[in-house]
Amino acid sequence: MRNLSKGFLVAIGMLAIGLVSSTVSANNLLVGSFTLAHPTQWKSTTLPAGDYTFKLAHTQTDMNVLQIHGNKQALDILIFAQDACATCKNGTLNLDVEGDHRVVTALDLPGFHVDFSPGRSSSEKERQLAKKKAPAQSEQVAVQVSPN
């Protein structure tokens, strides 16, 4: 009788692990990849040039997490529900470029737009750029997106 209850508990445990792992993978909203030709600052992290994959996944709260993985660097970013975008259809990584320095300013994914310079309005950015000797330029990096 005792061996039967231990076997039953092990079977229930394995079933629970299987259900949880399938639920976690089902929580991925989008997966994809992009390539950075130059080192690029994203928030407080500098990503070296190279190929990256990403996964946008649900969390247990009202936010999602964007997980970015490269050969040498990884980055997790929380994406809030208010970042949803009904008109965003393509994947694009927007960068500001000053000389050799590149900074991620926004990310567009199907259904999401995330601005990474929330403290500055567009008029404030224009004033700061006007003060500089060489105006900053913009670049876009194509992001390949596959719904999971």
pLDDT in tens, 114-124: 888 755 544 44
Give the separation between CA 56 and CA 66, rounded to whole angstroms: 4
Per-residue pLDDT, 101: 92
pLDDT in tens, 78-123: 888 667 788 888 899 999 998 889 999 999 988 888 888 755 544 4
Give the separation between CA 96 and CA 40, rounded to whole angstroms: 10
Q: What one-character-per-residue DSSP string does 85-100 give? A: -SS--S-EEEEEEETT
pTM of the entire predicted model:
0.68
Per-residue pLDDT, 15: 45
* CA torsion angle 96 42 67 35 (round to 10): 50
Per-residue pLDDT, 75: 93
Amino acid at 74: A
Report the residue count for the chain: 148
Per-residue pLDDT, 16: 44
Per-residue pLDDT, 2: 55
